[in-house]
Amino acid sequence: MKQPELTWQSIVGAILISTLISMAYPYIVLKLGQGPNISVLAAFLGALFLSATARRTRGRNAFQNNIIQSAATSAASTAFMCIVAAAFGYLEMNESVDLKLVITPWEMFTWLSCSGAIGVLVTVVFRRYFVDDPQMIFADGVAAAETIIVLDHGAGNRMKVLGSGAAVGVVVAFLRDGLEKLPTLGLAMRYSVGLEWSVLSLGTGMLIGLNVGLSMLLGVAVVWVFGPMVMAIAGPSIIDNSIAPQYLDQVHALAGAGTLTEAQTAFIHQHGGMMGNYLSGDHFAIVLLWFMWPATSLMIFAALTAVALKWRSIAAMFTGMAVRREKTAKRDDVSLKTIILLSAVLTLLLAWLQYIHFDMPYWQTILAVICGLPLILVGVRVLGETNSGPVSLMANTLQAIFRLFSPAIGHNLVAAGMAGNINSQGEGLMQVYKTGKMVGSTPRVLTWVQFWAIPIGAAAVAIMYPLLIRHYGLGGDGLAAPTGLKLANMAVLMSKGISAFPPGALLWTIIAAIAGVVMVLVKDKFGWRWVPSAAGFGFALILPGTLNIMIGTGAIIAWIWSRTRPESFQNND
């Protein structure tokens, strides 16, 4: 007999742990610019909570822990969108535009709650397409499931492996970040090419497979080899576009002056845009703004082509969800009718909220939602292959698309935030589905848990962001929030139209789109497994090479292990 999933223990645990994690998450995201995986942490905390509150069912608490882990994932996915609040903050500080758009905590809460709910509902439709695809690994979802099962059952050898891996990870992180005894082995650090010691990245590589791992190494090689060329051709334009016109001449004069005083350095830091990155030797941050265009194009067209090739399977999924069930039969998924009705209602509600909060026309919101839906497929597919979710990249993509309909900077940033939140929820839910499949949970229950946990994450952003900025400040010596800065800068760039493209980027964006389609077609028609993964290669162009190299190394180690010790590999996979 299957144990119940929704109990008072799982519900209370979900609320408590989701609140705890989502309240802490904005600080991490604003400080680092990215959000770490919390699925495994949530599973661990859930196991501790259940060990105290559900002792009688110990060994049968996996379903309840999956509920807790799902809620925490949803809340953290929403809390990640503090980057949008930071983007509005940076836009207010931007000296090249005259736009002051302040979002109150209540506006932030309602906006994120509504847009996140749309992301959950739309993602339900594609659950089987992604979760049942053997190429979609969803490494974090797998790791969370293994953690839940091992902590619940105490599965002997697996418990030892899990404990040993966690211990090694803690030691390595402490030596690297705490004692600074494990420095990055730099190869070309101007372009972020080097080996950073990370057990998490190594483990991710061991899960994603050899093809994706090698594709990510290929992306690093492209940045390493062609980065200097891009810097020479497009770097000056990218740097100049990041500087307010009234400071351009002064910044250039200081940059060519050689040694700078403390006051001059502070001036560059405050008004010099990406000139500060150039002078400090961080060229990767500059060429990233060139590589992001072809990389995004490659991933989008490859993902959409892959979806189009499986249109029959997708049509069958829609048909299956629409079929009426007997009253006695239990439905695994939320019904298609419910999805359509709720999505329509929430889209209209979102349009109303964005009109009263941001003076954004109704038609622009509806159009932005429609344009953002295919990006969920792209984001989830990239996540499934690489275990890295391109939330901010998908938000940037919608900014570029939305520019065709509106040049307004504020509306562009609102559309980006909406798309980012929808995508973030989609990626989080698919990881949850992967975990649920391995644990044996009911997808419909997980969907509603994810849905109702969104307001917890939205409240965390509404409450914590003002407190953090008031205490630490935004930018400078405070919370850097680099992802928020990128969103704000993109909104400003998009207001300039086609001239926003750095030299050569538009041509290579078109070439990359064609390449993305061809790569998928060749793999599908001829079965050429050696063709690089478009998701792995494309994402590696915009991720630091220090991260990609360790992931690729993990993939190679796993492949060698599977060939030399297949039984051992299967037992510990």
- Within-domain flag for 2: no
Per-residue pLDDT of the chain (573 residues; tens, 9 = 90+): 567 788 999 999 999 999 999 999 999 888 877 777 788 889 989 988 998 898 787 767 889 999 999 999 999 999 999 999 999 988 888 777 777 777 899 999 999 999 999 999 999 988 888 888 888 889 889 989 988 988 877 655 555 666 677 778 778 877 887 777 888 888 889 999 998 888 878 888 888 888 989 999 999 999 999 999 999 999 999 999 888 888 899 999 988 887 888 888 888 888 888 898 899 899 998 998 899 899 989 988 998 898 888 777 667 766 666 655 544 445 678 888 999 999 999 999 999 999 998 899 999 999 999 988 888 988 898 888 888 778 888 888 888 888 888 888 888 889 989 989 999 999 999 999 999 999 999 999 999 999 999 999 999 999 999 999 999 888 766 787 878 888 888 888 787 777 778 999 999 999 999 999 999 999 888 878 789 999 899 989 988 898 899 999 999 999 999 889 887 766 665
- Nearest partner of 422 among 387, 386, 398, judged by Cα: 398
Q: How far apart are CA 245 and CA 271, in angstroms?
A: 10
- Within-domain flag for 438: yes
Residue whose structure tokens are 């690093």: 220
pLDDT of residue 161: 64
- Nearest partner of 8 among 60, 53, 42, judged by Cα: 53
Q: How far apart are CA 445 and CA 534, in angstroms?
A: 33
Residue whose structure tokens are 């800068």: 489
Give the total number of structural domains in the chain. Answer: 1
pLDDT of residue 469: 93
Residue 22 burial (CB count, 10 A): 29
pLDDT of residue 174: 79
- Nearest partner of 284 among 228, 219, 201, judged by Cα: 228
Query: Tell me, what amino acid is at 117?
Result: A
Under a CB-based contact definition with an 8 Å cutoff, are residues 268 and 251 in contact?
yes
pLDDT of residue 449: 95
What letter does residue 188 receive in the DSSP assignment? E
CA dihedral 143, 148, 153, 156 (to 10 degrees): 30
- Within-domain flag for 297: yes
pLDDT of residue 171: 84
- Within-domain flag for 528: yes
Q: What tokens does 264 get? A: 């001059």
Under a CB-based contact definition with an 8 Å cutoff, are residues 87 and 417 in contact?
yes
pLDDT of residue 308: 85
- Domain coverage including residue 178: 8-572
- Nearest partner of 3 among 93, 72, 64, judged by Cα: 64
- Nearest partner of 129 among 272, 317, 302, judged by Cα: 317
> Angle at CA 238, nearest 5°, toward 277 and 507?
135
Structure pTM? 0.82
Q: How far apart are CA 468 and CA 105, in angstroms?
A: 13
Distance of CA 100 to the CA centre of its chain: 27
Q: How far apart are CA 60 and CA 58, in angstroms?
A: 5
Query: Tell me, what amino acid is at 379?
Result: G
Residue-level length of the chain: 573
Write out the H or E segment, with its range, that includes residue 248. Answer: helix 248-255
> Angle at CA 298, nearest 5°, toward 297 and 303?
100
3-state secondary structure of 187: strand
- Within-domain flag for 189: yes
- Within-domain flag for 426: yes
- Within-domain flag for 1: no
pLDDT of residue 321: 60
Write out the H or E segment, with its range, that includes residue 243. Answer: none
